[in-house]
Amino acid sequence: MQEIILIKNGELALKGLNRSTFESVLVKNIKRRMQDLGSFVISRSQSTITIEPTDEGFDTDEAVERLSKVFGIAAFQRAAAVEKDMDAILAVAPAYLEAQLADISTFKVEAKRSDKKFPLTSPEISREVGGALLGRFPHLTVDVHHPDRVVTVEIREKKAYIRCDQIKGAGGMPVGTGGKAALLISGGIDSPVAGWMLAKRGIVLDAIHFASPPFTSPQAEMKVHDLLSQVAKYSGDIGLYTVPFTEIQEQIRDNCPEELFTLVMRRFMMRISERIARREDCAALITGESVGQVASQTMLALGCTDAVVNMPVFRPLIGMDKDEIIIRSRQIDTFDISIRPYEDCCTVFTPKHPRTRPKLEFLEQAEQALDVENLIQRAVDGARFEIIRCTF
């Protein structure tokens, strides 16, 4: 018996050209994720994409695991592909469905015939398959109105397909349909989740990390790598810029009022990120900020950070509580990496009493003590680029 995978697209509201772009980007992303699992054929019809392995060694379990991380997939199903012959169908169905029918008590069979030359009608197919399942599994009864599970038998052009459970997909839009944005990633819990959320809406990610050696360690940079590797399983490859930030932080420490340290620093991060983002054709910045989480994330403080950039800043976590963010970070497997105990540049030189109701003019005044343009340019020029690959 051969097993295939049927994939249902998400975002059913899409129409016309959008729909076909959505589907072709989705197919490309699926191919890329599966390419090392063995050979297979992908086909599209209506809103279903079919993956048909063409060699024995194709690892379907691993394929399913990877598909669960591909945005743009609403749901998918595994199905047994058998000869278009009733004896073959009746022989395979009970064995193939055994595990999926073990823990339920009612089912029904739905048959679909796209090949109208098949000798049995749909109701006849349903009856025969239903009978075979009842004979083999005495704990089951048929309930046509509210079954625990629906078994589908589909007679198509070349083969018959038997399937049962629907697996929920990652949802969202295929990555690549929404343009590109730059994620400011810190090594904490929030920013990887923020990046994941926008990748889910189809946006390709670049990432920017500010490092302040020797105050921050190589382990802190390793942590950012590991976080991005995990996000890349969903988003695809991520270009990472590591920006030298020590000089700027020291200059701020030596020349600005202590209660403004964090905000002046955040304004530098935004300015530098915008430069890099524009050069990379990113249309927005993404941060992991959430209103009120820390002093630099009050509404007024966020306004002061936004004042230095001229492109949209996406903050997908803005209205989320920390525990909601943590639930998501556990689900996408970034939490355990995020809680490794290495210092981020934000925790270096933290003021004892940061301003929570900052005034823009005080910040602008404080920054006059610094050679802002040169500091930004040196940081941008000193940034190191690498690609964090999507690997499994």
Residues at the site binding Mg ion, with contacts judged by CB under 5 A: 190
Q: Which of residues 18-47 bind ligand ATP (CB under 6 A)?
A: none
Closer Cβ to ligand ATP, 118 or 268, answer by number: 268
Q: What count of other Cβ atoms lies within 10 Å of the Cβ of residue 359?
A: 12
Q: Which of 42, 294, 348, 376 binds ligand ATP (CB under 6 A)?
A: 294
Range list of β-strands (E), the chain: 2-9, 40-45, 48-53, 73-82, 106-113, 141-142, 149-155, 160-163, 167-171, 180-184, 204-211, 238-244, 285-286, 313-314, 384-388
Closer Cβ to Mg ion, 190 or 367, answer by number: 190
Q: Which two tokens stand for residue 164?
A: 């049962």
Closer Cβ to ligand ATP, 138 or 319, answer by number: 319
Closer Cβ to ligand ATP, 154 or 289, answer by number: 289
Q: Which residues of 108-133 are buried (b: 16+ CB within 10 A; e: fewer)?
A: bbebebeeeebeeebeebbebbbebb
Least distance in Å: CB of 53 to ligand ATP?
A: 40
Q: Which of residues 161-190 bind ligand ATP (CB under 6 A)?
A: 184-186, 188-190
Closer Cβ to ligand ATP, 128 or 206, answer by number: 206
Q: Is residue 111 part of the contact set for ligand ATP (CB under 6 A)?
A: no
Closer Cβ to ligand ATP, 129 or 269, answer by number: 269
The answer to whether residues 311 and 182 touch, using CB atoms and an 8 Å cutoff, is no
Closer Cβ to Mg ion, 128 or 190, answer by number: 190
**d(C-alpha 114, C-alpha 55), whole Å:** 26
For residue 290, give the nearest of 277, 299, 280 by alpha carbon.
299
Least distance in Å: CB of 188 to ligand ATP?
A: 2
**d(C-alpha 127, C-alpha 120), whole Å:** 10
Burial class (CB in 10 A: 0-12, 13-18, 19+), 192: buried
What is the rounded end-to-end Cα distance, in angstroms, of the chain? 27
Tell me how many degrees the CA angle 52-55-60 measures, rounded to the nearest 5: 60
Least distance in Å: CB of 288 to ligand ATP?
A: 3
Interface map 206-225 toward ligand ATP (x if CB under 6 A) = --xxx---------------
Q: Which of 9, 296, 298, 334 binds ligand ATP (CB under 6 A)?
A: 296
Q: Which two tokens stand for residue 380?
A: 């941008």
Closer Cβ to ligand ATP, 153 or 379, answer by number: 379
Q: Which two tokens stand for residue 324?
A: 């909601």
**d(C-alpha 79, C-alpha 5), whole Å:** 6
Least distance in Å: CB of 224 to ligand ATP?
A: 8
For residue 72, give the nearest of 51, 49, 41, 52 by alpha carbon.
49
Beta bridge partners of 223: none
Q: Which of 122, 293, 350, 356 binds ligand ATP (CB under 6 A)?
A: 293
Q: Which does 287 bind (CB under 5 to 8 A by kind): Mg ion, ligand ATP, none?
A: ligand ATP
Q: Which of 346, 363, 383, 388 binds ligand ATP (CB under 6 A)?
A: 346
Interface map 258-287 toward ligand ATP (x if CB under 6 A) = -----------x-----------------x
Binding residues for ligand ATP, rule: CB under 6 A, are: 184-186, 188-191, 208-210, 269, 287-289, 293-294, 296-297, 344-346
